[in-house]
């Protein structure tokens, strides 16, 4: 049974995100800079969690005689959770795009 620190990882990630968001309401941080920082963190967490996940899938799929160390699983799971949280906020910034896309797809299907 592995422990992945769900509450601390998600909690710290949300705390840092909302602190950064709060700063955009002051003169210290522009909203565009906030988005740039979080887009970069989204890329980094995706690359780390995704690359490790891909390597592990390869090892498992080809039944390679390699033991995946626990710390690799922890890094993968940790960055995976961070990736999800940031992706959720990223998605929320582009919600209007998805609303429009669904509307266009639904209405064009009616014709």
Interacting residues toward ligand HEM by CB under 6 A: 2, 4, 49-50, 53-54, 56-57, 60, 68, 73, 76-77, 80-81, 83-84
Q: How many CA atoms lie within 13 A of 71 on its CB side?
A: 0
| Residue with Cβ nearer ligand HEM (33 or 51) | 51
Q: Which is nearer to ligand HEM, 13 or 77 (CB)?
A: 77
Separation of alpha carbons 16 and 53, rounded Å: 25
Output the smallest distance, CB 93 to ligand HEM, in A. 19
How would you classify residue 14: left for phi > 0, otherwise alpha for psi between -120 and 50, otherwise beta? Answer: alpha
Smallest gap, in angstroms, from Cβ of residue 96 to ligand HEM? 25
When the beta carbons of 28 and 62 are compared against ligand HEM, the nearer one is 62
- Greatest alpha-carbon pair distance for the chain in Å reads 56
Smallest gap from residue 62 Cβ to ligand HEM (A): 12
Buried b (16+ CB within 10 A) or exposed e, 64-82: eeeeeeeeeeeebbbbbbb
Cα–Cα nearest to 10, from 86, 99, 66, 75: 86
Q: How far is the CB of 41 from ligand HEM (least distance, A)?
A: 14
Nearer to ligand HEM, 16 or 68 (CB): 68
């Amino acid at each position: 049974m592995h422990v992945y620190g769900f509450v601390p990882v998600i909690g710290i990630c949300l705390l840092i995100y909302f602190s950064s968001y709060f700063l955009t309401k002051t003169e210290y941080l522009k909203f565009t800079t906030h988005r740039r920082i979080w887009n970069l963190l989204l890329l980094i967490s995706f690359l780390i969690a995704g690359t490790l996940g891909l390597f592990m899938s390869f090892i498992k799929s080809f039944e390679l005689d390699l033991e995946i160390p626990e710390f690799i699983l922890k890094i993968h799971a940790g960055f995976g959770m961070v990736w999800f949280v940031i992706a959720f906020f990223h998605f929320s910034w582009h919600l209007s795009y998805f609303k429009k896309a669904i509307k266009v797809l639904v209405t064009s299907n009616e014709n």
